[in-house]
């Protein structure tokens, strides 16, 4: 399992809103604003990057829960930044506090849960599971 990850470890991730990140990319009748799934993806990237330096070889963290509020819209061309900070660890699961802003306002906040998995073992289990289906 991963080495000790200190509470408070942080990371940021950012992207500029492109058409592919907007509601309009899924349905042209919808407005060209940053979609909730894309904001959550950016938050998950920041959380992953915060924890990954502490994982042992062959390990990664994967998302297991999401509790997010999307509080404001951001338009095409705006730079969105997500921040992640490790809030707690219960022996198996990490809770990461996340926030997203677009330079002028907070657009989202909440928590994401993550767990450490050993990739080779995980892939093996998934292959066995697929064979059993």
Q: Measured between alpha carbons, how far is 66 from 58 in angstroms, rounded to an integer?
A: 24
Rounded-to-5 percentages of helix, strand, coil across the chain: 30, 40, 30
Active site (catalytic) residues: 36, 44, 70
How many CB atoms lie under 10 A from the CB of residue 66?
13
Phi then psi for 40, rounded to 5 degrees? Answer: -65, -40
Q: Measured between alpha carbons, how far is 63 from 40 in angstroms, rounded to an integer?
A: 11
User: Hey, what are 83's tokens?
Assistant: 């921040």
User: Hey, what are 108's tokens?
Assistant: 């989202």
Task: Find out whether 34 and 86 touch, Cβ atoms under 8 Å.
Answer: no
């Amino acid at each position: 399992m991963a080495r000790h990850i200190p509470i408070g470890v942080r990371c940021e991730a950012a992207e500029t809103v492109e058409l592919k990140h907007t509601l309009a990319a899924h349905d042209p009748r919808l407005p060209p604003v940053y979609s909730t799934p894309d904001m959550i993806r950016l938050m998950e990237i920041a959380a992953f990057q915060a924890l990954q330096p502490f994982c042992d070889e062959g390990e990664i963290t994967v998302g297991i829960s999401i509790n997010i509020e999307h509080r404001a819209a951001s338009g095409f061309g705006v730079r969105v930044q997500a921040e992640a900070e490790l809030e707690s660890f219960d022996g198996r699961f990490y809770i990461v506090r996340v926030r997203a802003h677009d330079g002028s306002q907070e657009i989202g906040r909440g928590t994401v849960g993550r767990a450490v998995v050993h990739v080779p073992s995980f892939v093996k289990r998934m292959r066995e599971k697929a064979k059993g289906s």
